[in-house]
Chain A
Amino acid sequence: MQEIHAGEKPLKRIYVSVFLWFTGRAIQAAAKTDKEVKKEFDALPDDFTFALGCLPNGPWMVVGKENGRVKYLGSNPNIRRLHIRLVIKSLDAAFLILSFQESTALATTRNRLMTDGEVPYALSVIRILDIVEVYLLPKIIASLAVKRYPSWWSMGRKFGGRIGVYTRTVLGI
């Protein structure tokens, strides 16, 4: 008989934290660069805030609207009232999804994701995340992450938007 304390998974935690931090800033950038993302956010309430993260101890990414502008609000989900909480059940599941070993759709079918909040808001967030992933990732990887890769996008939107999103994400503007 022995009593064991659950160990840590520092490398996976660092990877997921960095990914969420970068994606959060990219959403902020995409809301200024891409018309479709802007339109999605415009349709949401003025103080709309959502968090994406994993149970039981995070990490989290919080994005919200402030005075009509979209902002990455850090990694503390208790910072303000959340309209939507997208929860991945474990750090390992988050790693599978965020390292593109599993698409969001596949992860949902495998019962790895939970949504806490209104479904229409959640669908808006998923659409925004899909667009941001298309900007951030090369086609071969983004195809694994999103349900349908938008082949109908013009080259100008794809490459122009990509430069805009990356520049704003890195500079944090």
Chain B
Amino acid sequence: MNLSAGYTFTCPFKTNSGNKALEHLPVELSSLNAFKPLIITSLNLTGRRAIRTLINAFGDSGMTMGVFDEITCNADLNVIEQIKDIFVKGQYDSIIALGGGVVVDAAKIVNLAVSQKTADARQLSGETDICGPLGPLVMVPTAAVTGMETSKYAVLNKKTFVSISLMPNLVILDPRLTRAKDSKTTAEAGIAAFGRSLEAYIAPDKNPFMDAYAFAALRFIRENLVLAENKSCNKKASLAVANAAVMSGCVISNTGQSVLHRLGQVFQNIIQVHPGVIIGMCLRPFLDDYVKKDSHLVSALFHPLAGDDKYAATPEAKRTDEVLKDLYIFLDEIYGVLKGKMPRTINEAGIPRYLMDDIFEVINKEPDGAYLRTIIERVS
């Protein structure tokens, strides 16, 4: 790490994680000067039980809250305009996003629209100026997250909004909500967080804060993902995976647009496939290339992945080989538990040729499009 070059790192949100953490929500909201929140969620994507758990957490607080649970996978700016009207008419003062992916993206854009008093939210675009801090936004992730919830990005209907102001003020991780119904959901979230953190950890321009966040996320995933997949009732493991996803969102907001992250986003934007699926596919070819470029940076991965004792006992010259071996075993374990539920190649994913052409068209526009294309071709 070259500290003389200087660096910046921003993590504007407070994280509250643990048993019954949700019950702290009324107090945390009042510390944000918020007393009437609007909960934005999706009945289909998040589930009735999660919504009920969140509402019960407000018990005895005397608060009144609105619940908008009609977010769908295809939410667009018309829905944002609809929620904005509800927010203004109901005189709400804060937003709670319950769930992951599109739910949180929609909540971020609603927060932007109501905070900046946008006359018509349908006119919002990626070019919209986002200035100053926005209103209080609380994020309550469930198991079905993409890892981008805590990031500075919000993507809705192929429109991408980018600003540090979009990041939430508070993140609450409660083990009652982070347990997944199926192992695939956990694996997707875990691999997405793992890939993004891994890329940040081996980035030549990383800073000490990124290093710390990425280190913790990688170790959490390495120690808990397979366990969380195997036993969805394991609260501790699923909470660790959710923590890693939150950290990876913060890490990605402080790094340049990285290879694995961008590939995951392109596929998500065009064919709505979870970025974890694509990041999982591309991890191996990406690392193979990276070893050729800078094996020293890859060898540093041995510490978060193998643990302190194994790291100390392995000579530096052997760490690169060992880390690759360890990582590939780990990936095999993840996919082994899923028993074919998650594709390992583009062909297995069954993505039609015409959609691949659309994807390549977007990828080719990137400055390093040729390289990104070779990665996709190697996993086809």
Query: Residue A90 at the B interface, CB < 8 A?
Result: yes
| A-B contact number at CB 8 A | 79
Known: A89-B24, A93-B20. A8 touches B64 (CB 8 A): no
B38-70 vs A: 1/0 string, CB under 8 Å?
000000000000000001111111111111101
Chain B binding surface SS class: mixed
Q: Is the CB of B67 within 8 A of A9?
A: no
> Within 8 Å of chain B (Cβ to Cβ): is A18?
no
Q: In the complex, what residue of chain A is closest to B66 when comparing beta carbons?
A: A3
Expressed in whole angstroms, the minimum distance between the Cβ of B95 and any Cβ of chain A is 14
Please indicate the chain A residues that have their CB under 8 angstroms from the CB of B23 in the complex: 89-93
A89, B66: Cβ atoms under 8 Å? no
The answer to the question of B86 belonging to the interface, with a C-beta cut-off of 8 Å to chain A, is yes
A6, A55, A89, A93, most chain B CB atoms within 10 A: A6
Q: Does A5 contact B (CB under 8 A)?
A: yes
Q: Does B369 contact A (CB under 8 A)?
A: no
- B86 partner residues in chain A, CB cutoff 8 A: 1
Note all chain B residues with C-beta closer than 8 A to A92. Answer: 20, 23, 57, 59
Q: B66 CB to closest chain A CB, in angstroms?
A: 5
Question: Is A56 an interface residue, CB under 8 A from the partner?
Answer: yes
Number of A interface residues in the complex (CB < 8 A):
23
Interface band, chain B: 20 to 34
Q: How many Å lie between the Cα of A144 and that of B18 in the bound state?
A: 19
A2 within 8 A of B: yes
The answer to whether B269 has its CB under 8 Å from any CB of chain A is no
Closest to B63 in A: A6
Question: Are A90 and B27 touching (Cβ within 8 A)?
Answer: yes
Report the minimum CB–CB distance from B173 to chain A (whole Å): 12
Is A123 part of the contact surface with B, judged by Cβ < 8 Å? no
A91 touching B60, Cβ below 8 Å: yes
A112, B66: Cβ atoms closer than 8 Å: no
Given contact pairs A4-B64, A55-B27, A56-B62, enumerate 10 new A-B contacts (beta carbons under 8 Å). Answer: A2-B66, A3-B67, A4-B65, A5-B64, A55-B26, A56-B26, A56-B27, A56-B60, A89-B24, A111-B18
Closest 6 CB pairs of A and B: A6-B58, A92-B23, A90-B23, A9-B59, A89-B27, A9-B60
